Amino acid sequence: MPLGITILRGEGVDKKRFFTISLMAWLVIVLAVSCGNSEPVAKGRLVTETYTVVTGDTLDVISYQFIKKSSVRRDVREFREGIIQLNWEEVFKNRYPHGLIRPGDKLKINYWVEEK
């Protein structure tokens, strides 16, 4: 009798072992086929600018100003928190509240620009 028919009948090979091997083979095939099915990566570059705070500025106003330059749409709160995180050591570490800015502060601001 051919091996395939023997396996299907459960003769000669333990059914539990057959199931385990079949499952593993199926997982390997699924993983191999799914590799490379990711979204295409947008081509662009990360731009870093230094902005000097002037009287009347708030982090929200600065965030809105730089969101307009960015190719990636983000919420203003996320952008503002990114500014705080990027400038934590130099500007915000010893200030309370942590989002407090003063005229003359120099803030590094990152945003993404898509290249065509």
Domains recognised in the chain with CATH numbers: 3-34 (no CATH), 44-114 (3.10.350)
Which pLDDT tens digit goes with each residue over 20-42? 888 787 777 766 666 655 555 66
What are the E-state strand segments in the chain?
Answer: 44-52, 106-114
> Which residues make beta-bridge pairs with 108?
50
What are the E-state strand segments in 16-104?
Answer: 44-52
Q: What are phi and psi of 73, to 5 degrees?
A: -80, 125
Q: What are phi and psi of 70, to 5 degrees?
A: -80, 145
CB atoms closer than 10 angstroms to residue 64: 13
**Residue 32 corresponds to which amino acid?**
A
The label of the residue with tokens 């990360």 reads 46
Q: What is the pLDDT of residue 32?
A: 67
Q: What are phi and psi of 114, to 5 degrees?
A: -80, 135
pLDDT higher than 70, residue 9: no
| pTM for this model (two decimals) | 0.61
